[in-house]
Amino acid sequence: MSRKPVHLAVYDTYADWETGHATAYLARAGYEIRTAGPSRELVTSVGGLRVQPACALDDVRPSESSLLILPGADLWDAGDDLAPFARKAREFLDAGVPVAAICGATAGLAREGLLDDREHTSAVSFYLAATGYGGGERYVDADAVTDRGLITAGPTEPVAFAREIFRLLGVYDGEVLDAWYRLFHDSDAEAYAVLEKAQASG
């Protein structure tokens, strides 16, 4: 079955560890991961990795994507440089295409008004409250939250973030999804056998 690509936003200071579980296992499941930057100029992650975006944000179309992933970055809280990525998230959600945001990207979505009417989470509630957004009553103290096509998570929950992405896209479900999470979050060796059996059966 042909799948539309998953778009991973990349920009200077992006937190390279926050999306690795998700993109690695999406790729293993047959999704092409396409990086999208402010332009096609090189960007540098907070870990010093230099990435050449496959495309510019302006060229990303929801109709040609399965998902937009927005990692955290120092720039989310340093001005408006990444506001176009939050506006692109609105475009995706309006088109019925899911968005996944972690860490500082949740604040960017809060400023864009995308969390005002959806349940969501982040690092801590007062981090988002500082944006002045109107969704404080919908904040959930959880590892990751999915509401109407939007996944949010805090910076310490990249595995839960990936879990919600896999659930939403149907990559894993049921006991296989649970086993994947237990293996990578809890180091539960028994979960490996469940995954191995699932992979062997196709």
Instruction: Show which residues are catalytic.
Output: 103
Q: Are 6 and 65 in contact (CB under 8 A)?
A: yes
DSSP 170-188: TSS-HHHHHHHHHHHHH--
Strand partners, 100: 69, 151
Give ∠ CA 124-130-133 in degrees, rounded to 5.
100
Which residues contact residue 77 at a Cβ distance below 8 angstroms, ignoring those fewer than 6 apart?
104, 107
Burial 177-194 (b: 16+ CB within 10 A, else e): bebbbbbbbeeeeebeeb
State how far the Cα of 153 lies from the Cα of 160, in Å rounded to an integer. 8
H helical segments located in the chain: 20-28, 83-94, 104-111, 125-129, 158-169, 174-186, 189-200
